[in-house]
Amino acid sequence: VEASPRLYRLWDLNQKYLFLVENTLVADVKTSNLPEQLIAVLPNKTLDTAQKPIFMGPENKKSCLSCVKSGNGQYQIELKEKDIMDLYSDPKKHQSFHFL
């Protein structure tokens, strides 16, 4: 049982980090004028643990990353209001919030 999320820096193959700017999550190259954004991570304990499913959200925020299908049928990541500890406590209701 996790008492609190673990915190990580998250970036993609192009070295673009995730930042929260005016409540919008953006990916950009890290520069000195951008604030560091740590990502809170907790496991989804109801799925196959061999696949390492997780929940993610900005540190100290009441929002989490969610994967949703857009109007053109492509999946995209959105920031939605949801406490990561609520997802961890009751993961079966929140499948759009887990990532493998």
Domain map of the chain by residue range? 6-99
Instruction: Report how far apart the first and last C-alpha atoms of the chain are (Å, whole number).
Output: 19
pLDDT per residue as tens digits for the range 76-88 = 888 999 999 999 9
d(CA 29, CA 69) in angstroms, rounded, equals 26
The reported pTM is 0.83
> What would be the CATH architecture of the domain defined by 6-99?
Trefoil (2.80)
pLDDT per residue as tens digits for the range 10-30 = 888 888 888 777 878 888 887
